[in-house]
């Protein structure tokens, strides 16, 4: 049975409360979306507190990032959501968060990616069935020109169809899944791994 707009709105609102409560979406940061159809997505309105979302804080956009509801302004990063829906039709939800761990770790990493290896929790990611593998998470430099940033992201996605998320340096995390529950699971897994990496680096530095 197809999920209705009302159901998707309720799921996004609940996700916002959860992510705000964990400190991963402070104040009006972050943005969330869910696929409405083959051509439209339901997205958080720009500038809304993510722990206090209401159905009126969501709007429909087309996959070019244009608002389909006059008077409502979508997030400035809408194109980073819609490009994922265009990239893979099985993606049903996209979450973007601004946690301290993601922000700090993305600044500490001097290269273009972060690699997780041999963590049991890697199996929380879609398509991963063993800890004995590597998960590469690309890191893109922050850019206020979102169309330009999307243009940097797309070649990586095309070359890495198994990508499960990416970081924007000093900014935050993007991840996705068939539904909001899947994307939330991956957020939790990423945050656990980010914290592990930061603690490992702190211990190594202290030696």
Residue entry with tokens 């699971």: 185
Cβ atoms of residues 56 and 26 within 8 Å:
no
Give the Cα separation of 178 and 132 in Å (integer): 24
pLDDT tens digit at each of 207 positions of the chain: 467 999 999 999 999 999 999 999 998 999 999 999 999 999 999 999 999 999 999 999 999 999 999 999 888 899 999 999 999 999 999 999 999 999 999 999 988 999 999 999 999 998 888 887 889 999 999 999 999 999 999 999 999 999 999 999 999 999 999 999 999 999 999 999 999 999 998 887 776
pTM of the model: 0.94
Give the Cα separation of 81 and 69 in Å (integer): 17
Give the Cα separation of 197 and 1 in Å (integer): 40
Give the Cα separation of 31 and 20 in Å (integer): 11
């Amino acid at each position: 049975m197809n999920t209705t707009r009302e159901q998707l709105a309720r799921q996004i609102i609940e996700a916002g409360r959860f992510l705000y409560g964990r400190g991963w979406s402070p104040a009006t940061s972050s943005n969330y979306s869910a696929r409405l159809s083959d051509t439209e997505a339901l997205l958080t309105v720009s500038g809304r507190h993510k722990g206090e979302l209401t159905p009126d804080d969501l709007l429909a956009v087309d996959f070019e990032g244009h608002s389909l509801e006059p008077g409502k302004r979508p997030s400035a990063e809408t194109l980073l959501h819609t490009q994922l829906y265009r990239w893979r039709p099985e993606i049903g939800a996209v979450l973007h968060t601004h946690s301290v761990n993601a922000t700090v770790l993305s600044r500490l990493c001097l290269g273009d990616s972060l690699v997780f290896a041999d963590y049991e929790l890697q199996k929380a990611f879609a398509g991963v069935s063993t800890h004995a593998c590597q998960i590469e998470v690309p890191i893109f430099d922050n850019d206020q020109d979102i169309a330009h940033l999307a243009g940097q992201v797309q070649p990586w996605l095309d070359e890495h169809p198994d990508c499960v998320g990416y970081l924007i340096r000093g900014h935050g995390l993007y991840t996705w899944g068939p539904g909001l529950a899947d994307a939330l699971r991956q957020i939790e897994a990423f945050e656990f791994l980010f914290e592990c990496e930061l603690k490992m680096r702190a211990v190594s530095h202290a030696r």
